[in-house]
Amino acid sequence: MIHIMNASGVPRLAPSLLAADFSHLADAVCAIESRSGAFVHIDVMDGVFVPEISFGEPVLRSLRPLTKLPFDVHLMVAQPETHVESFAAAGADYITFHAEAAIHQHRTVHLIHQMGKKAGIAIVPSTPVSQLAEILPFVDIVLVMTVNPGFSSQKMIMRCTEKIRDLAALRAQNHYVYLISADGGINAKTIASVTDAGVDIAVSGSAFFSGELNGNASVLS
Ligand code: DX5
Ligand code: ZN
């Protein structure tokens, strides 16, 4: 049984390592664990699906022994199905891939489940929820991007929060079980917009890792 909200009814926090100091990633993982993080959000970028390249399986493997927190891997890559097995072996708990990058979504979800992992589907701001109709019954997470993927520190596109409401309504109507995650531009000013919309997981990069971590974590969790 997946526990959707934490005790206070606010979304669970998934700080993104993309905004951490890459020369101190171990410290960043410890900071997430000690400051109410529920997931370690790991943004994998391939320079094809998105312009930049971030990091891959070897980094996950190195970080895996440092924490028991689930690794929430967000694949911003082309042909995500070719990476599922290696990220599963490297220690991912949730593997989320983009609908825009995968024709055979059902097969990829099945592969993730075969590897014993939770499967997520992500959509960029220009992709409507309606495009997910046939995959929603099978996924464990739906990740709504509230910025265009590829970079941290962007401004939230407010219109995307409507998709969170739509996904919550579809879940209730159809008895689906997915968690709803929002990713991009979430900070002290914008978190209420995703919380009010009914999000379960709030991903935060720059607002968590920039400046004073205790203060950041307290306004986000
Ligand atoms: C963007 C990534 C996000 C990003 C969030 O492509 O998927 O997870 O790190 O960063 P902020 O919270 O700074 O927008
Ligand atoms: Zn992400």
Give CA–CA dist 204/209, Å, rounded: 8
Question: Does residue 3 register a pLDDT over 80?
Answer: no
Tens digits of residue pLDDT in 32-44: 999 989 999 999 9
Give CA–CA dist 29/21, Å, rounded: 11
Q: Provide the pLDDT confidence category of residue 217 given band limits of 50, 70 and 90.
A: confident
In one-letter notation, the amino acid at residue 118 is: K
Alpha helix stretches (DSSP H) within the chain = 25-34, 57-63, 84-90, 105-114, 161-174, 191-197, 206-209, 213-220
> Hey, which residues does 180 pair with through a beta bridge?
142
55 alpha carbon to ligand 2 midpoint, in Å? Answer: 13
Are 176 and 142 within 8 A, CB to CB? no
3-state secondary structure of 195: helix
Listed range (8-12, 51-55, 134-138, 172-176) with the worst mean pLDDT: 8-12
Are 55 and 44 within 8 A, CB to CB? yes
Q: What is the pTM of this model?
A: 0.95
- What pLDDT is stored for residue 36 in this prediction? 87
Q: Which atom of ligand 1 is nearest to the CA of 156?
A: 14
Mean pLDDT of the chain: 95
First CA to last CA across the chain, in angstroms?
22
Pocket probe mutation, ligand 1, options 183, 187, 194, max atoms within 8 Å of Cβ: 183
Q: Provide the pLDDT confidence category of residue 9 given band limits of 50, 70 and 90.
A: low
173 alpha carbon to ligand 1 midpoint, in Å? Answer: 30
Pocket probe mutation, ligand 1, options 39, 190, 203, max atoms within 8 Å of Cβ: 203
Q: Provide the pLDDT confidence category of residue 87 given band limits of 50, 70 and 90.
A: very high
- What pLDDT is stored for residue 2 in this prediction? 39
1 alpha carbon to ligand 2 midpoint, in Å? Answer: 24
Q: In residues, how long is the chain?
A: 221
Q: Average pLDDT in the 63-82 region?
A: 98
Question: Does residue 6 register a pLDDT over 70?
Answer: no
Report the catalytic residues.
Answer: 43, 183
Collect residues with CB below 5 Å from ion ligand 2.
43, 74, 183
16 alpha carbon to ligand 1 midpoint, in Å? Answer: 7
* Domain map (residue ranges) of the chain: 12-209
Residue 174: other Cβ atoms inside 10 A: 11
Pocket probe mutation, ligand 1, options 13, 17, 18, max atoms within 8 Å of Cβ: 18
Q: Which residues line ligand 1 (CB under 6 A)?
A: 16, 18-19, 41, 43, 74, 76, 147, 149-154, 183-186, 203-207
Give CA–CA dist 166/202, Å, rounded: 17
What is the dotted CATH code of the domain comprising 12-209?
3.20.20.70
147 alpha carbon to ligand 2 midpoint, in Å? Answer: 10
Listed range (2-11, 14-23, 34-43, 167-176) with the worst mean pLDDT: 2-11
